[in-house]
């Protein structure tokens, strides 16, 4: 069966994924084609066309379209909870009761129109199957983990009405244990404080996480914003995740926090510096998020974890790697799997995999996320010639790149199929020497044009990972932080954050042979089995997709060498 999964139902991160007989053959975000970060309020048209082309599948061959947003029953507790909690905004409360599926109907119309444009008729041949939003997150996490049994947690802003889903996966089937509904949302709570701290929701949450390491979490008491325990949590919408007249307005734009919060803490942060008192607010919100999630896991998932030791996570909040480190440290968690595209882009995969399992297909565990576009040598060379740049095609390619890195040069590395998800995993990466003083400042200020205090991550050879991280736990997707051993922290300070942790990608010869070979040559020269690795993009831009994108970035920054396909472009 050929199943096309589509996302974008909640207004951001549209993507497409294609499963053929249970195998994930292609997946990509729409933003990579239209170059608009998160591609807000757009349909995944180009992403869907790419998936069909990559698999050699004609539109009329699609059997089923899976969609991560479903109609909700009039009696669903989420509708009534939403209405009750929004009595201060009676128009919203009333709509939830009398017209609670308006978003689904709008989504169905818009996506059907887009599918018709690309030749997929969901009114006749192809079946359209809506799946509840958090079930698609849960399916991503569980079906691609490789675990036979696991506790499953999905946490994000909001789907239809649900914001947090806790359940149990066994034998391929998912069972709900507990669910929470809007406006009680851990993603909404963290996102509102993200806006207060001067960042944009969807773009800034990971910045708050990085800033938190500079602050003292006990300097601010957040008990007036959120209460939590093993049975659940509740937000105070007089402060956060509020709507209507409660919202603080800044430069004419309504924010997800209230004037009451600004009165409590002072004016919202502006500018790029990690400064007081805002670093302490960041530290506090990070601590509360971690403790609220830990309380839920201990209270609701303990029995499952005691039995199997496996925990699966998805949803945008699952990209909070510091929280994930705390979860892995729990005594009854032996292994943790976070779906790499944990945010809403991943729900295209989750919708497709959920329906595939429901229809009796076996979903293959995830092996890698190199699922996006790739370009032939001829296509790359044509782009180089069109740009009129000087380039070479060296015989000892990886040797020359590793030499440049050993000298301290910063390299744009563009190879093979693009990664699916927000992390650069060695095919659309900026690489640097993690022992070279000042390389992180150079990448932040002269290449990515972002805040000086932002941390960097390493890509580590698999044979060296245990000595570097002090654990053999898998970490192929940059979804966890680990404490760096003291010996290595002193050798490679450019990829160690202020709290002594790092967020690694452990690379093997099986998943990325070219990158593994190049790092091995770098290790032979320097004794260091890892490189600084960050996404090949500038601040506010999506990760580069095409050779043209790579050249635009290369000549628009202080990158020193572009390693693109078999070609090297010096500057």
| Catalytic positions | 12
Give me the sign of the Cα torsion angle 180, 199, 15, 114: positive
Q: Kindly list the distances between the CA atom of residue 414 and the CA atoms of 196, 430, 553, in Å, as whole numbers in the listed order.
A: 36, 9, 12
Peptide bond into 30 cis (omega under 30): no
For residues 78 and 99, give the distance between their C-alpha atoms in angstroms, rounded to a whole number. 13
Closest CA to 345 of 555, 20, 37: 37
Residues paired with residue 169 on neighbouring β-strands, in sequence order: 150, 174
Contact predicate 486/467, CB 8 Å: no
Q: DSSP code of 542?
A: P
For residues 330 and 291, give the distance between their C-alpha atoms in angstroms, rounded to a whole number. 12
Within 8 A by CB and 6+ apart from 17, the residues are 4, 5, 24, 26, 27, 51, 348, 349, 352, 371, 420
For residues 371 and 358, give the distance between their C-alpha atoms in angstroms, rounded to a whole number. 24
Helices 205-212, 321-328: inter-axial angle, 10-degree rounding: 60
Question: C-alpha 185: how far from its chain's center?
Answer: 18
Q: H or E element: which one contains 459?
A: strand 457-461
Please state whether beta strands 411-414 and 561-564 pair in parallel, antiparallel, or not at all (unpaired): parallel
For residues 544 and 512, give the distance between their C-alpha atoms in angstroms, rounded to a whole number. 19
Residues paired with residue 347 on neighbouring β-strands, in sequence order: none
């Amino acid at each position: 069966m050929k199943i096309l999964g589509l996302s974008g139902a909640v207004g951001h991160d549209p993507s497409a994924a294609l499963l053929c007989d249970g195998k994930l053959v292609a997946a990509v975000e729409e933003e990579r084609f239209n170059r608009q970060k998160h591609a807000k309020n757009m349909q995944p048209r180009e992403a869907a066309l790419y998936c069909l082309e990559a698999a050699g599948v004609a539109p009329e061959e699609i059997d089923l379209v899976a969609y991560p947003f479903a109609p909700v029953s009039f009696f669903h507790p989420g509708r009534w909870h939403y209405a009750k909690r929004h009595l201060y905004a009676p128009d919203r409360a009333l709509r939830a009761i009398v017209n609670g599926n308006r978003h689904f109907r709008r989504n169905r119309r818009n996506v059907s129109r887009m599918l018709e444009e690309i030749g997929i008729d969901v009114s006749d041949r192809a079946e359209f199957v809506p799946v509840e939003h958090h079930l698609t997150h849960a399916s991503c996490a569980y079906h691609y983990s490789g675990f036979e049994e696991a506790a499953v947690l999905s946490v994000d802003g909001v789907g239809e009405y649900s914001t947090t889903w806790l359940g149990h996966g066994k034998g391929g089937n998912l069972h709900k244990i507990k669910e929470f509904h809007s406006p009680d949302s851990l993603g909404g709570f963290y996102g509102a404080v993200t806006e207060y701290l001067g960042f944009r929701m969807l773009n800034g949450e990971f910045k708050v996480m990085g800033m938190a390491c500079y602050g003292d979490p006990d300097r601010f008491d957040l008990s007036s914003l959120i209460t939590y325990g093993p049975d659940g949590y509740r937000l105070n919408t007089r402060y956060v995740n509020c709507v209507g007249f409660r919202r603080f307005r800044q430069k004419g734009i309504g924010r997800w926090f209230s004037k009451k919060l600004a009165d409590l803490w002072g004016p919202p942060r502006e500018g790029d510096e990690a400064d007081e008192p805002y670093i302490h607010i960041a530290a506090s919100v990070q601590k509360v998020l971690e403790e609220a999630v830990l309380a839920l896991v201990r209270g609701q998932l303990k029995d499952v974890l005691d039995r199997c030791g496996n925990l699966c996570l998805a949803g945008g909040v699952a990209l909070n790697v510091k929280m994930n480190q705390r979860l892995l440290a729990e005594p009854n968690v032996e292994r943790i799997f976070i779906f790499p595209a944990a945010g809403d882009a991943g729900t295209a995969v989750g919708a497709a995999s959920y329906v595939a399992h429901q229809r009796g297909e076996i979903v293959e565990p995830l092996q890698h996320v190199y699922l996006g576009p790739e370009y032939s040598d001829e296509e790359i060379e044509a782009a180089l010639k069109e740009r009129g740049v000087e380039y070479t095609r060296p015989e000892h390619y990886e040797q020359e790149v590793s030499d440049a890195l050993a000298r301290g040069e910063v390299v744009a590395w563009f190879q093979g199929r693009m990664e699916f998800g927000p992390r650069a995993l060695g095919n659309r990466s900026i690489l640097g020497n993690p022992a070279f003083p000042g390389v992180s400042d150079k990448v932040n200020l002269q290449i990515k044009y972002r805040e000086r205090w932002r941390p960097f991550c390493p890509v580590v050879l698999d044979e060296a990972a245990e000595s570097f991280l002090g654990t053999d736990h898998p970490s192929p997707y940059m979804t966890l932080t680990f404490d760096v051993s003291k010996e290595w922290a002193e050798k490679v300070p450019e990829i160690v954050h202020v709290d002594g942790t790092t967020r690694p990608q452990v690379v093997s010869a099986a998943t990325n042979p070219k990158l593994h070979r190049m790092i091995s040559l770098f290790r032979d020269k320097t004794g260091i089995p890892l490189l600084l690795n960050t996404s090949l993009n500038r601040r506010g831009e999506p990760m580069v997709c095409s050779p043209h994108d790579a050249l635009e970035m290369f000549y628009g920054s202080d990158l020193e060498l572009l390693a693109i396909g078999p070609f090297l472009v010096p500057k």
